[in-house]
Structure 1
């Protein structure tokens, strides 16, 4: 989960034209038409590393669970009843995003989720709280 320092004007100015940056999917990045410029991309990553108090502009980064534990948790959700937001928003692989608008409902569902998966639930709570606080989507990697 990326921070909001760039959007809120708290990040230092990059060593290249800021007009080359775009904000998409919760991430400040080089505009696609300039992504093949190796020197620019290197400068971007150098800048991003310490552009604000958050290393690499990451507000939160969580390891949710290993795949067997994660699958056990999602299977328990499926058996337990109506967890429609979690069921639709949790990733099925190492990619995807969940919009910040879904964070509040996801947190409500996690509060009543099946027991026996506390470490996974705790990590997901941290992620969805960060999404709610920043207004940024969860990016699943």
Structure 2
């Protein structure tokens, strides 16, 4: 689950594709190259169009570029960094990424976004990021995502996460009550799918899975830290966005978010 995107090649626009065996073909209201017939009553024609599009030109599915941009948490962290840096510094990027799948970025805006991506990547200090780490190894277990209110774990009776004030566990009542909060704490798995959390001489036992397992033994000591992040730390999303925007500029076609 996450955000993907592609840019059409120019083969259809420039008359370089094989002849489509069904008609009419054009750009639909959402910006997709499509068979402009309703689905009902024309299913066979749509299947013929899909088979043609897959092999109509040297580009797979008639796409100049196709990228997995990031999972949604990565998108939100990038948007969060842009807000922290100041939207006035990256105005196009600040509004370019969608909040849901769908939509597009026109080629003229992609050209501006490409320049902003280059400037973003060169920035030595973008933001300070709040993280929950395993103290023994430094492994990052959670990151604070503002738009998720820091929540990263959900259970039948609880939700847990990290924010600038520390790691927290809340119940699922309305309004939620804080069951545990600490900046540094220990944890110990207990029988019966429970965990013991200790901090500052207090001990809390909760019916929840240990934090930071992910196929590994759960860490015993955990801490929340703030770490400075540079443009290089966001290469995971900057690089696919660069490739998409460059393809958009080269073809004049929009980036299609999917």
**What TM-score, normalized by structure 1, do the two folds share?**
0.91
Q: Tell me the CA shift for residue 50 of structure 1.
A: 0.4
**1:55 partnered with 2:172:** no
Aligned match of 2:16: 10
Aligned match of 2:96: 89
Task: Give structure 1 regions of 4+ aligned residues with deviation exceeding 6 angstroms.
Answer: none
Q: Work out which structure has the larger RCO, using CA pairs closer than 8 Å and 6 or more positions apart in sequence.
A: 1
Q: Report the Cα distance in structure 2 between the residues aligned to 1:52 and 1:70, rounded to whole angstroms.
A: 32
Aligned match of 1:39: 44
Query: Secondary structure of the residue that 2:253 maps to in structure 1?
Result: coil
222, 240, 245: which one pairs with 1:128?
A: 245
The superposition leaves residues 85-132 of structure 1 with CA deviations (integer Å, 9 ceiling, x where unpaired) of 111121111111111110111011111214120121011000100110
Q: Report the Cα distance in structure 1 between the residues aligned to 2:107 and 2:241, rounded to whole angstroms.
A: 13
Contact 1:26 1:136 (8 Å CA) reproduced: no
106, 111, 115: which one pairs with 1:104?
A: 111
**What TM-score, normalized by structure 2, do the two folds share?**
0.51
The superposition leaves residues 59-106 of structure 1 with CA deviations (integer Å, 9 ceiling, x where unpaired) of 111001111111111100111022111111211111111111101110
Q: Which runs of 5+ in 2 are unaligned?
A: 1-6, 121-125, 127-230
Give the structure with the higher percent helix: 1
Number of residue-to-residue matches in the alignment? 138
Q: Which runs of 5+ in 1 are unaligned?
A: none
Contact 1:2 1:26 (8 Å CA) reproduced: no
Larger radius of gyration: 2
Give the structure with the higher percent strand: 2
Query: Secondary structure of the residue that 1:69 maps to in structure 2?
Result: helix
Query: Secondary structure of the residue that 1:136 maps to in structure 2?
Result: coil
Moved more, 110-119 or 1-10: 110-119
